[in-house]
Amino acid sequence: MLPAPIIEATKKCSGCMEIKPRIGFYARPSREGGLRSRCIDCTLAEMKKRNATPEHKREVRRQALKREYNITPKEYETKFIQQGGRCAICRRHRSEQRRDLSVDHNHITGAVRGLLCARCNTGLGGANDDIQILESMISYLHRHAHCP
Report the C-alpha gap between 115 and 133 in whole angstroms. Answer: 21
Under the banding of pLDDT at 50, 70 and 90, the label for residue 1 is low
**Could you tell me if 103 and 121 are in contact, meaning their C-beta atoms sit under 8 angstroms apart?**
no
Cα–Cα distance measured from residue 146 to residue 47, given in angstroms and rounded to the nearest whole number? 55
Task: Judge whether residue 117 has pLDDT over 70.
Answer: yes
Domains of the chain: 11-41 (no CATH), 54-143 (3.40.1800.10)
This prediction's pTM: 0.63
Given a cut of 80, whether residue 148 has pLDDT beyond it is no
The pLDDT assigned to 52 comes to 82
Tens of pLDDT, residue by residue over 7-63, are 678 999 999 999 999 999 999 988 888 999 999 999 999 999 888 888 888 888 899
| 27-63 burial code (b ≥16 CB/10 A, e <16) | eeeeeeeebbebbeebbeeeeeeeeeeeeeeeeeeee
Q: For residue 49, what pLDDT is reported?
A: 87
pLDDT tens digits for 63-92? 999 999 999 999 999 999 999 999 999 999
